[in-house]
A and B are shown apart, each in its own frame.
Chain A
Amino acid sequence: MNSIHVDAIVQGVADLCIEANCCLGDDVVRALRDAFAKETSALGRNALEQILENADIARREGLPICQDTGLAVFFVEIGQDVVVEGGELEEALHEGVRRGYHQGFLRQSVVDDPFLRRNTGDNTPAVIHMTVCGGSALKITIAPKGAGSENMSALKMLSPSDGIEGVLEFVVETVNKAGGNPCPPVIIGVGVGGTMEKACLLAKKALLRDVGQAHPEPRLAEIENELLSRVNRLGIGPAGYGGIVTALAVHLEVFPTHIAMLPVAVNINCHAARHRTLIL
């Protein structure tokens, strides 16, 4: 049995919010440097230089990498031998966001209702995906998600006869339509299978992988490579100014599905791919 007090969760989450928003992951920095070495477009190289300099300044100055510090999205895995004391887990996550976004001078980007659109003033509520697993650990991953790239994401319910080629075409078409809007070079999360909402979750979860880490299954890694190569032939380039690096990586996740279904979700992430994990 692992007893965890909500106070530890609140403070842990607050720190995660700040770290995730101000310190770009080493994997992303590496991928951006590789992109800079590869890119042949002068304006594209210039954009990548600014993106890399920005990451340095953000880390050094404790400033958010991007002013869109996002909606706080959580993936939480709670071991069945965990006991949360002193309050409720979900409320502790919201309170951590409240505290982190306030203390870290992060932007309050959440409105209370999609129609009324009044800023809630504390960046809550967060979007929480919770799963129960075996063991006694509480694993909390935050992935703050900005609107620029989220708005360019898409879902399509394909027919099984559309096959792999249908999936490839839909992903490329989605990135093509997005153009310079989602802050390329992007990372593309693709979820195939399950149901409508399962495909979307798979796509979002795919973005949590270290950038460019291939799927362990070779046949799926091959699809990732094919997608990356097709997307990078679109010419959109860094910042959309034209170039050969439109995406840093494509991450694919799959799940069993229905005999009559082939759902495909594409979740685009900007180059400021932020996520951090805490294990209690």
Chain B
Amino acid sequence: MSVRMALPPDPVDLAPLRAGDKVLLNGSVYTARDAAHQKIAAALERGDTLPFDPHGQVIYYTGPTPAGITPAGSQRIIGSAGPTTSGRMDVYTPALLQAGLAAMIGKGQRRPEVVEAIRTHQAVYFAAVGGTGALLAQKIVSAEVVAYPELGPEAVHRLCIEDFPAVVAVDCHGNDLYELGRRLFEVRDL
């Protein structure tokens, strides 16, 4: 069974989540990937205004395809929009967690120092299934570019998501599904 979660999350709702729990995410998230993270990190360092206040918010690591037209001829809200590899954002993540970021959505394992920062700041790292961008696009009900439009697919979007399927990859205790899961199924007698 999946737990329904409202976003931006109430810290009280994040605390009981454990690595491996299935969730359905509902509410608003900001998209940012490599180039946007680089810009946000630089702005944080200089003390400049950020494109959005990360405090209590959720970042979704994605760079969607252009919205396009449905076979029936109507304008889509967004194109394919699945998670990208989170590890590339690891260098920027501790500073964002320090600034109050509540959760992230991506795919793939994080560095030990990021897992540690997630634990320290009582945040959560959610994973969505990589390569399911067409399915996940159906769970996005609105999308607008809020910063860095010059970055094209890497611009920061504000998305509203509904029953967006994810699992808890790293919980606020630092339990890591990418470690625990493979340990359960690993056959060691090589």
Contacts and interface: CB of A to CB of B under 8 A. Distances in A.
Interface of A: 40-41, 43-44, 46-47, 50-51, 53-55, 57-58, 60-69, 104-109, 117, 119, 121, 147-148, 151, 172, 179-181, 183, 230, 233-244, 270-272
26 contacts: A43-B167, A50-B165, A53-B135, A54-B133, A54-B136, A55-B134, A61-B70, A61-B134, A63-B80, A65-B131, A67-B82, A69-B80, A107-B80, A148-B107, A234-B186, A235-B181, A235-B182, A235-B184, A235-B185, A238-B129, A240-B127, A242-B181, A243-B181, A243-B185, A270-B131, A272-B131
Given A50-B135, A272-B131, 18 more contacts: A41-B185, A51-B131, A53-B135, A54-B133, A58-B134, A64-B133, A66-B134, A67-B80, A119-B152, A148-B108, A151-B85, A233-B190, A237-B181, A240-B178, A241-B20, A242-B180, A242-B183, A244-B185
B153 A107 contact: yes
Nearest to A272: B131
A242 B152 contact: no
Contact of B182 (A66, A67, A179): A179
Interface string B162-190: 00010100000000011011111111001
Interface residues of B, number: 51
Nearest to A59: B134
A234 B190 CA distance: 10
Contact of B130 (A46, A55, A121, A270): A270
Given A50-B129, A119-B152, A230-B190, A43 B20 contact: yes
- The majority secondary structure among interface residues of chain A is loop
Contacts of A47: 129
B124 interface: no
A208 B154 CA distance: 30
A251 B67 CA distance: 36
A67 B135 contact: no
Nearest to B65: A107
Contacts, number: 182
A229 to B, nearest CB: 10
A68 B107 CA distance: 13
A236 B107 CA distance: 13
B65 A64 contact: yes
Nearest to A241: B181
Given A43-B167, A148-B85, A239 B129 contact: yes
B161 interface: no
Contacts of A61: 70-71, 134
Contacts of A64: 65, 79-80, 133-134
Q: Which 9 A-B pairs have the closest CB atoms?
A: A242-B181, A105-B68, A235-B186, A235-B185, A183-B130, A233-B187, A235-B182, A58-B134, A181-B108
Nearest to A176: B182
Interface string B93-137: 000000000000001110000000000000000010111111111
Contacts of B87: 181
Contacts of B80: 58, 63-67, 69, 107
A105 B134 CA distance: 13
A108 B130 contact: no
Contacts of B22: 43, 46
A119 B63 CA distance: 13
Contacts of A244: 185
B26 interface: no
Contact of A50 (B132, B180, B181): B132
A268 to B, nearest CB: 12
A117 B152 CA distance: 13
Contact of B181 (A67, A181, A240): A240
A61 B184 CA distance: 37
A63 B137 contact: yes
Contact of B167 (A67, A108, A181, A241): A241
A89 to B, nearest CB: 28
Contacts of B138: 57
Contacts of B66: 105-107
B81 interface: yes
A108 B182 contact: no
A243 B87 CA distance: 21
Among B22, B107, B132, residue most surrounded by chain A Cβ atoms (within 10 Å):
B132
